[in-house]
Amino acid sequence: MRVEFCVNPNDTVHTLKQMIKETDGKPIEKQKLEYQGSELKDNDSLVSYLISNNTVIQHSSKALSLLYVEMYTGETLSFSIDLDAPVSCLQEMVEEKEDILADNQSLVFRGRQLDSLRSLSSYGIGKGSIISLAFILRWVADQPVAYAVVLHSWPGNMNHQGIKGLELVHGQVVVITGVCSDDWYYGRVPSGLESLIFPRDHVLILKYGVSVLINAPLS
């Protein structure tokens, strides 16, 4: 059966796969498109394969491999994916399953952070591989980046360059508004207006919020 799609030659293969998904429901990561014996790569444009009007592209299902993503909570998630797919496809799957924006994900395999544009297989990732998920905390002035629960009480008895410490009470929820350094967060209590600082290892992040800029300076 042939299905016709109207596309722009400069569209990516990923865009065409998205159109196919909207038509027959087949997930992007399970699609395999071939033209003149070559498999089309998601990030390439259609015109790069000399695809023109009325071109016939072969569509089939890919053989998928089971990968595991280890969350910061210790929970391990499983995903079936084509190993030649870009890392961004796995990030999209994590976003769909866990509601964690792809832009806020940092995937790490064997100590290396994965580039979203490179394929999983280019990192030596294979069937059964375990990939760690970290978060990229980003900051916009005094807006919630994340919500966290306090694991260890802390008196907040410090003052650094005019910024006071936030008193932490075990079990309370605090709002993280930025990253101060490798050891400190900016944050406040939910009803507070002023962002103070507190130690990162005293809290556990519960939920991530909006973000725009990595690592606000302490000044």
In a domain, 216, yes or no: no
How confident is the model over 2-14, as a mean pLDDT? Answer: 86
Which residues 6+ apart lie within 8 Å of 34 measured at CB?
Answer: 40, 57, 58, 60
In a domain, 7, yes or no: no
Whether residue 142 has pLDDT greater than 60: no
Whether residue 2 has pLDDT greater than 70: yes
Q: Check residue 214 and give its pLDDT.
A: 29
Which pLDDT tens digit goes with each residue over 14-34?
A: 999 999 888 878 888 778 898
Cβ–Cβ < 8 Å for 174, 187: yes
Q: Check residue 207 and give its pLDDT.
A: 59
In this structure, are 172 and 186 located in the same domain?
yes
Q: How many residues does the chain have?
A: 219
How confident is the model over 163-179, as a mean pLDDT? Answer: 88
In a domain, 217, yes or no: no
| pLDDT mean across residues, the chain | 81
Which pLDDT tens digit goes with each residue over 116-134?
A: 999 999 999 999 999 988 7
Whether residue 110 has pLDDT greater than 90: no
Beta bridge partners, 86, equal 119
Query: What residue numbers bound the domain in which 44 lies?
Result: 13-61
In a domain, 75, yes or no: yes
Q: Check residue 216 and give its pLDDT.
A: 31
What is the pLDDT confidence band of residue 12, given thresholds at 50, 70 and 90? very high
Whether residue 211 has pLDDT greater than 80: no
Domain of 127, CATH number, reads 3.10.20.90
In a domain, 54, yes or no: yes
In this structure, are 129 and 73 located in the same domain?
yes
In this structure, are 47 and 70 located in the same domain?
no
Which pLDDT tens digit goes with each residue over 43-64?
A: 899 999 988 888 888 887 777 8
Q: Check residue 126 and give its pLDDT.
A: 93
Beta bridge partners, 107, equal 133
Tell me which range, 12-21, 91-100, 189-198, 201-210, is most confidently predicted by mean pLDDT.
Answer: 12-21
In a domain, 122, yes or no: yes
Cβ–Cβ < 8 Å for 80, 64: yes
